[in-house]
Amino acid sequence: MKIDTLFIDKTIPLDMELNYLISQINAEPQWVDDSKTVYDFINKADDPVLKAKSTLYVTKNKGAVVKECPGTSYYTCCDYTILHTGTFCTMDCSYCILQAYFHPPVLQYFAGLETLDHALEKTFSQNKIFRIGTGEYTDSLIWEKVSLVPKFLVEKFARQNNCLLELKTKTVNIDSLLPLDHNGKTVLAWSLNTPDIISSEEKGTASLKARFEAARQAESKGYRLAFHFDPLVIYPGCEIEYKKVIQQIFEYVSSQSIVWISIGTFRFMPKLKQLIETRFKQSTICYGEFILGLDNKMRYFKPLRIKLYKEIISCIKEYAPDLLVYFCMEDEEVWEKCMGFFPAKEGELGHMLDKSAVSHCDLNYNLL
């Protein structure tokens, strides 16, 4: 994490958490009354998105700390629960929806371990399984080198029996997590893509080999793993390249350590296209055969999605027939043609994932 400018909300107490963060960032803190100073600083840059990636704003979370994934009613959702610890990212992927989601994008760190603790205790006290992740609005582990939060979360989740923590990343920032007693309650997850896409579209991320080596390290310490092929990008020869990535998964780690693999093709809000064209002039990622989906996002023409999905799923099943593979935000036709079934009932996909979480992560079987 390369931070050039550090803004801190004046209302944040200078406690152990904040002192640690300041000590890890090589930037003089600037204490501000409100977010306007931060927004103005970012917006005056020629490339506000790029500026935001090196500008950190430490503030309070003024909304819900734990909330349901937004999903959409038109495509099947996995009933994920979001732990809201921050926003935006220091890496610079051309396809990243966060560029267009926030106005302007601000790299925010929500201080307050007590706030997190209180929200999680309420969740832990409920009589159901929760799959909880911090990677919806940020990369879960960009904070590992500067914050106490990842370590706090792993240790917090280790002491309960109904919630799984998934930390999803494109980094290899796991050093502080490896020695921890995670008690089987944390899944370390990596977003994967082909080397071509990583080098051309995922600026500042770890290489594919480095991600796999980190996954192997995590497995050696007893962590369960997950992998996410999202977004799959369609380009000439992509099927062969994605199959090579799948082959490498099972060369590096055991299928028994993998809780699930998700797959989803590149989709984007129409306004993201202009941002990609402006910020990533060499990128051709938004020039495929796209149509407007029911969720008002541009999606690959459905037969193209289905063709690639079938290849991916078949390849995974060759190595691990019983491994849970699921779609992120796809419809009934895609499920039926690619998987041979559709989780039609409300919450059915979520229940499938809960069962996998329980069987891999020492959660309470009686809650299913």
CATH number of domain containing 129: 3.80.30.30
Q: pLDDT band for position 100 (50/70/90)?
A: confident
Q: CB under 8 Å to 330, separation ≥6 — which residues?
A: 75, 76, 264, 305
| Beta-strand pair 163-169/186-191 | parallel
Residue bearing tokens 């023409």: 301
Number of domain units in the chain: 1
Lowest mean pLDDT among 7-16, 96-105, 269-278: 96-105
| Beta-strand pair 107-110/130-133 | unpaired
Report d(CA 124, CA 144) in Å as an integer.
23
Q: What is the CB neighbour count within 10 angstroms for residue 240? A: 10
Report d(CA 69, CA 205) in Å as an integer.
25
Question: When comparing pLDDT for 165 and 2, which is higher?
Answer: 165
Tokens of 246: 């799948």
**What are the percentages of helix, strand and coil residues in the chain, rounded to 5?**
35, 20, 40
User: What percent of the chain lies above the pLDDT cut of 90?
Assistant: 86
Q: CB under 8 Å to 296, separation ≥6 — which residues?
A: 269, 270
For residue 54, the enclosing domain spans 5-367
- Using CA atoms, how far residue 149 sits from 80, 110, 219, 310, in Å, is 20, 10, 21, 39
Q: pLDDT band for position 73 (50/70/90)?
A: low
Tokens of 166: 């998934």
Q: What is the CB neighbour count within 10 angstroms for residue 64? A: 10
Tokens of 113: 């371990």
- Taking residues 42-51, what's their average pLDDT? 94
Q: pLDDT band for position 346 (50/70/90)?
A: confident
Per the CB < 8 A criterion, the answer to whether 133 and 86 are in contact is: no
Reported as a single tens digit per residue, the pLDDT across 111-139 is 999 999 999 999 999 999 999 999 889 99
Phi first, then psi, for residue 71 (nearest 5°) are 50, -155
Look at the pTM and tell me if it is higher than 0.85: yes
Angle between helices 208-220 and 238-252 (to 10 degrees): 30
CA torsion sign for 54, 172, 149, 84 is: positive
- Taking residues 160-187, what's their average pLDDT? 97
The pLDDT assigned to 71 comes to 57
Lowest mean pLDDT among 22-26, 133-137, 170-174, 313-317: 133-137
The pLDDT assigned to 76 comes to 61
Mean per-residue pLDDT of the chain: 93
- Cα dihedral angle (275, 279, 280, 285), rounded to 10 degrees? -10
- Taking residues 213-218, what's their average pLDDT? 98
